[in-house]
Structure formats: C-alpha cells, structure tokens
Structure 1
Amino acid sequence: MPKQAYSLLRPECQTSSVVFASPHSGCDYPEWFLRRTLLNAQTIRSSEDAYVDKLFAAAPEFGAPFLVAEAPRAFLDLNRAADELDPALIRGVRRPVNNPRVASGLGVIPRVVAHGRPIYHGKMALDEANRRIDAYWRPYHARLQSLLDETRAGFGRAILIDCHSMPHEALDTMVRAGAKRPEVVLGDRFGASAETDIVDEIEAAFASAGFEVSRNAPFAGAYVTQHYGRPARKQHAIQIEIDRSLYMNEDTIEPRSDFEAVRARLASVIRDIIAIGMPRQSLAAE
C-alpha cells in the first residue's frame, strides 16, 4: 500500500478562505501493484496528473493550505464517490444505474488508464476495494472537509481549488477552426458549485498571467466539485484543468525544459486567487 493517504502543506498563517487540493498527482506506486498490473511502470502513470503538486506548491507561501494525495489515481480515484464501484472489475458488485464513469472503467477503483488500457487481468475481491477506500479515500476526504470547515469558521466562507491536468488531445474536438485553444479549463458545474463572481475572478487571474481560459467544456467537474460545492452554505468548489503539454512531455512524463517558467507564471495566478479569499480589511492594508 502507499505509505500514507495524503500530505498537508500548511502556511505559517492562513490568510485566506482559499484551500487548494490535488487528488490525482500521487505517484507512490507499491511494488506489488506494479507487479500485478498488465501495464509497464510508465504506462500506468498515463492517468496521473503528474507534477500538479509541484505546479501549485507555492500556495502555502501565499497563505493557503494545500492538500496533496499520495495514492496514485490508477490505484484509487479520489475524484469519485466511494460507492462508484465497477462490477466489471470488482466481484460481488451490482451494476450501477446510468453511471458513465463506472461504465467506462473509471470508477473509484479504476479498471483502465488513458485510452481505455486495462490495468488488471481478471477481477478483484470487494474486500480489497474496500480496504483501499478505507485506507486512502476516507482519510483524504475527511481531512479535506475538516480543512473547509476550519476555513469557513475562520473566514466566513471556504473556496476549494481542485487542481488537475488534462491531456492536450482532450480539447481536439472542442476547438473551432481559427479559435484560440484553451490552456486552462475552469469547472464549476455550470454555476452550481461556486458563485459566478468568484469564478470570474479566478478566470481573470489566469488571463492576466497570459493563459487562455474556458469554462466547463469538456470538464465541468466531477465528484469533488459536485460534493463540496455548496454556495448556499458559503462553501465553493472550482476545478482547474491545465494542459499538460504546457509543462511536460506527455509521452515520457518528464518536465519540459521551461517547467520552472510555467511554475513561476502559475505562482502569480495562485497569489491572485488567494487574494480573492482575503478579508477586505487585509487587502486594504496592503
């Protein structure tokens, strides 16, 4: 099993209602898992949001906590509900009703990685699936909710920034001829998971750093934004997807030579997003 469910990077003093999280950048692959999978050590990483934890690592420096998953996405998907179990992979599970994520092999215990490549030969026991959920899914989500509760108690609201990356090809069918290709997709479940004014400010932060931004297509947000986005309770959730080709070679899963330059651009975005959640008197004093 991976050594731990998550790492929590805290600022010396939290100054904002913004909380960052990265559920898919974990890369702690147990040796027994790599021996069991049909895939090689590189292909198994194709669904991973590689280096997203490093891209957003500046968050604590600017006053926001950053929760980072340690378990890899191919091992356990933290952006799925605990009951999104795949009967094609897990013995003793009934087929869910109208769940396209599970049907495509992308449940809480994934059956496939990118391009539909199978992870396992045969099925696993329900007990094994439940052990993974109990050991990694439940601690991660319990800590995330407690962070949001603490933040809301201290600042009157909480703004969750759920950090992801997307394959460059994900937008191939979305971009019209002659149109600029988005480099960042913001997902707020079409306004259901966060107040529009907050998403507008986040979009402006990316645009001011020179990123092309779109909303909700093809990624509007999955379990995390759906579950945690409760604007009426002053709890907002916004998913951020960044084009992987901006900062890494998607074939080799290695950082590009200009990785640090991209990270520096994102640091300015992170600073501006955190400022959105600062108390107004703090902003006036700066």
Structure 2
Amino acid sequence: MPDVYDLTRGDSPLIVSMPHCGTELPPGLEERLTPEARTLPDTDWHIPRLYDFAPGMGATVISARYSRYVVDLNRPPGNESLYPGQATTGLCPETLFDGTPLYADGRGPGEDEVGERVDTYWRPYHDALAAEIARVKDRHGFALLYDAHSIRSHVPRLFKGRLPDLNLGTAMGESCPGSLREALALVLAEISTHGHPAVVDGRFIGGYITRHYGRPGESVFAVQMELAQAAYMEETPPFAFDEARAAEFRPHLRKVLETLLGFRPEGPLGE
C-alpha cells in the first residue's frame, strides 16, 4: 500500500485536514489523462506551504499525497452528490472543474477500479483522520476539525463571478455550534475590511469531511475553508506560489485558526 498521506501530530484540540493538496499519481494513470489534466489544474495548490505555521500552533496536520484525480477524499465513498442540482465532480472524477474530459479517449475507471482506489487511497486517509479525531477528543474532551481547501477564483461552471478570498463552510450551521460559527463570522468580517472578501456558507458549505465528522452532539466541531487561489498564488500553469501575497495573507489565516483554538464548548455536548 502506498503512503497516501503525511501526518504531523500536535498537542492542541485542532486538526487541519488537507485532502486535495496531493499531486502524485499511481503508475499508469498519467498517460490516460488529457494533456490539460496532466497539469493537475484542480489541485488545492500549495496549501501545506500556506499553512506552514499551523504545526507551531499545536495543530495536528494531515495532508494527502495523491491527486484528487485518483480519488476525491472529500466525497462520500458511495459517490452521493453533495450539491444536488449544481455542477460538481464525483468520487473518481471524469471531468475537470470546467467540464472538459479528464481522461483521453473515455478511458475512465470502471467499477472495480473505483473500488480499488477507495480501498487503497480513500480509506487509509479517513482511517487516519478518524483516529486523530479520537486521539484529540480523548485528550481534550472535544476536537476541532478545519478542512483546508483552495480553488481558482473564477470557475464559471461552479459559481458565478469571482469567488471571495475566504469561504467558510459549516454545513449551514450543522457541523459546529452557533457560537463558534458566529465567532468565525466576526473574524471574517474583520478580514474583509483588509481587502479579502469573505462569506459564510455561500457556494461552498463544506464537503464530506465537514459534514461527516462535524458532530457537535459528540463534541467534534468541523468547518471547511475554501480559499480563492488568487490571494496567494498564480492561477495559471505552472501555478507558482507568490510569497509576497502569501506573507500578507497568512496572518489572516492565523487569526482564523486562533479563533478556533480559543473556542471552548459550553456544555458536556458542546451545545
């Protein structure tokens, strides 16, 4: 079994998950992709580098090594749609975000191959994430899960216009207590005054990870953050990291994580 994730354990209640930052492909897959797909345009580029301060804050960080084109770790294993009626991509995508084919000559994975990918790449990541949530909860009595993502600021097929720089998802308030959602919304409102527009539960309300693991009644509180990549990098190949933009942006992300770390459940069930 390949090493499908990197893990750095911290001693705080915070876990940062990075399911879409991977760029590795298993043998034989690259030649099946279209030339555009081989550039991995839908990757959450440079997310570990952007959040390089998180381990120093005591956060546990788990990040994927393999591309979302192998299997999407933020989709349910049964491939149920997370956004019914809206354009999206599935468990083993066959199109890019813009709707163009991912595979050359229609050579997408069959049912058996999808099952193998789930067993080889999807389950180990989720087994590890679940184990870290249990470890953190056992130590602190609760766990805070921050699912870290990014996307191009303009993807017409998925959303109209330009995406705000920060897009917080709480599954419409179902994945964390209202008090935490409100505290984060206040921080995002303040960040917006510094030229980084932000929204709560807009186009991105949180994917499988946020919705599945965010269980306030069990003292596990989850949010997703989708960033517009224009805030810290170039959005066209070769998708270069922009250290100047990132240096200006990181303090705002740190403030978000600090707000999470400052949260304490009010009752035994975090309600």
Alignment TM-score, normalising by the size of structure 1: 0.80
| Aligned residues: CA RMSD | 2.8
Whole-Å Cα distance in 2 between the matches of residues 139 and 274 of structure 1? 26
Whose radius of gyration is greater, 1 or 2?
Answer: 1
- Equivalent positions of 1:125-204 (< 5 A) are 125-170=110-155, 173=160, 182-204=164-186
| Alignment-derived partner of residue 251 in structure 2 | 265
| 1:96-150 CA distance string (max 9 Å, x none) | 7x77679957211111112012112234332211111111100101111111111
Q: Which digits, 9 at most, give the CA deviation of each residue in 1:215-267, with x for residues without a partner?
A: 11111112111111111111111000111011111112111252441454246
Superposition TM-score, scaled by structure 2 size: 0.84
**Offset of residue 160 of structure 1:** 0.5
After superposing the two structures, state which structure 1 stretch, 270-279 or 24-33, moved more. Answer: 270-279
Q: Cα gap change, 1:101/1:27 in structure 2, threshold over 3 Å: closer, same or farther?
A: farther
Which residue of the other structure, out of 5, 22, 29, is the alignment partner of 1:26?
Answer: 22
Offset from partner CA, 1:57-105 (integer Å, 9 cap, x none): 2211111101101111111100001111xxxxxxxxxxx7x77679957
| Alpha-carbon distance in 2 for matches of 1:29, 1:262 | 32
**Which of the numbers 186, 189, 213 marks the counterpart of 2:198?**
213
Whole-Å separation in 1 of the counterparts to 2:236 and 2:228: 14
| C-alpha distance 61-270 of structure 1, shift in aligned 2 (>3 A) | farther
Aligned to 2:214: 229
| Contact kept in structure 1, 2:18 and 2:149, CA below 8 Å | yes
In structure 1, give the amino acid aligned to 2:20: H
What is aligned with 1:7?
A: 6
Identity %: 27
> Residues 261 and 34 from structure 1, CA distance in 2 versus in 1: closer, same or farther, beyond 3 angstroms?
same
For the pair 1:255 / 2:237, whether they are aligned, the reply is no
Gaps of 5+ in 1: 85-95, 176-180, 281-286
1:63 — aligned with what?
Answer: 58
State whether residues 143 and 221 of structure 2, in contact with CA within 8 Å, keep that contact through their aligned partners in structure 1: yes
Aligned length: 258
